[in-house]
Structure formats: C-alpha cells, structure tokens
Amino acid sequence: MNRDLLNILSNSNKDIDNQKLMDYLAGKLSEQEKHEVERWMVDNDFDNEAMEGLQDFSAKKDINNYVDQLNKELNQYIKAKKQRRERRKIQEQPWTYLAIFLILILIILAYIVIKKLQHP
C-alpha cells in the first residue's frame, strides 16, 4: 500500500505492526492473523474506531487520496500550531524581562528603606 497510508499509523501502538493493519484493511491476512488484529482492536478503542472508519470507506481506491489529504491537513495544522507557539514565545520574553527587572528594583528599594528605618 501507499507509504503515506502507513504515515497515519506511525504514532500508533507498537504492539502490532502497521503493515499488518494495512494488510488487514486490504484483506490480505490469514484467518489467524485477522483474529490477532481483531483481538488487538478490542483492547484499543481509538484504533478500533479508526479501523472501522477505514473499513466503511466505500471507495477503497480513494483511501489513498483521503489519507494524503488527512496527512497534508495534519501537517499544516501542526506547522501552524508550531508557528503560533514560536510567535507567542518571542512576544512573551520582553514582558518577562521587564517584570524581573521591576521586581529586582522593588527588592533593592525595600532593602534600602528597611536599612534606613533601622538606623535613624
């Protein structure tokens, strides 16, 4: 099957081989291997839902296009989220430095005032 289809499952549970899952979808497994995959899916609700969704997909030949689209959208989402995080990090730093500077000045002023009050 298409390598991008395996990309979707790259972060899945390592208890079962991703290629075996793809072969299960394609109907290429023996009865024993099918049973093994089905037992594994019973214990993994999220993966089970994903497999059922892929099995219910009416046009099997369109799965690759659908997976390509999902991977593309996922990569765009991750990239946008990373860019937002980077922008936020850059914007927060000046305020952090200013806050630290003001706290240090207040501590120094408080120290000077306390020393002056102790020695009239």
Q: Which helix (DSSP H) or strand (DSSP E) does residue 20 occupy?
A: helix 18-26
CB 64 within 8 A of CB 5: yes
80 inside domain: yes
Give the confidence band of 109 by pLDDT, cuts at 50, 70, 90: very high
Domain count across the chain:
1
Q: How far is CA 22 from CA 16, 62, 80, 114, in A?
A: 11, 15, 29, 73
pTM to 2 decimals? 0.39
Give the structural domain span for 55.
Answer: 3-89
- Considering Cα of 45, then 12, then 18, then 61, what sign does the dihedral take? positive
Tell me the one-letter amino acid at 109.
L
- For residue 110, pLDDT beyond 80: yes
Span 11-25, average pLDDT:
65
Could you tell me if residue 107 is inside a domain? no
- Residue 108 confidence (pLDDT): 97
For residue 108, being part of any structural domain is answered with: no
76 confidence band (pLDDT: 50, 70, 90) = very high
